Structure 1
Amino acid sequence: MASRGRRGGASAREDEPRHDDQAEQQAPAPRGPVHPPPPPVDYGVFMQGLVQAMQTQAHTHAALQAQLEAQVE
């Protein structure tokens, strides 16, 4: 069987449109308003806030634990 440069058993005619090209497919149009990308994140400020939140949580946990132990005694 002579091959015409295409893989697979089916041979396509020259005048038929090709459906196997992924590059020709277009993405669907976005729905709703298109927003600009968000501003860059300052990770230093983010980490400071995260550390502060964790410290506050630890302090609150310790205070509640002390309060619970005082109630038990």
Structure 2
Amino acid sequence: MASRGRRGGAPAREDEPRRDERAEQQAPSPQGPVLPPPLPVDYGLFMQGLVQAMQTQAHTQAALQAQLEAQIYLDSAYERCTAGKS
């Protein structure tokens, strides 16, 4: 029966470190101060803020779109008024 998880079918020797153990040994130690764990997050409050921000963005976008359309309308009206006066 073939062994699993090793190439070539050779079983792992007990004195040979496994690949995941070698990776842990090679990991660099953290530099600088150790930070405290982050505060718990109130996801309900987070979602309320996210929805409010999205509504504000939609309102702002609609206002800017209306302002742009009004400016385009006024520019074209001005051009029509001044077209033959040069």
For the superposition of Structure 1 and Structure 2, which TM-score range results when normalised by the shorter chain? 0.5 to 0.7
RMSD of aligned residue pairs (Cα, Å): 2.7
Cross-structure match for 1:34? 34
Query: Structure 1 residues 65 and 22 mapped into 2: Cα distance closer, same or farther (>3 Å)?
Result: closer
Report the alpha carbon displacement of residue 68 of structure 1 after superposing the two structures with TM. Answer: 0.5
Aligned residues: percent identity? 67
| Bigger relative contact order (CA 8 A; separation at least 6) | 1
Report the alpha carbon displacement of residue 21 of structure 1 after superposing the two structures with TM. Answer: 6.3
Q: How do 1:6-17 and structure 2 match up within 5 A?
A: 7=10
Gaps of 5+ in 1: 1-6
TM-score (norm 2): 0.57
Query: Structure 1 residues 65 and 35 mapped into 2: Cα distance closer, same or farther (>3 Å)?
Result: same
Q: Comparing both structures, which one devotes a greater share of its residues to helix?
A: 2
TM-score (norm 1): 0.66
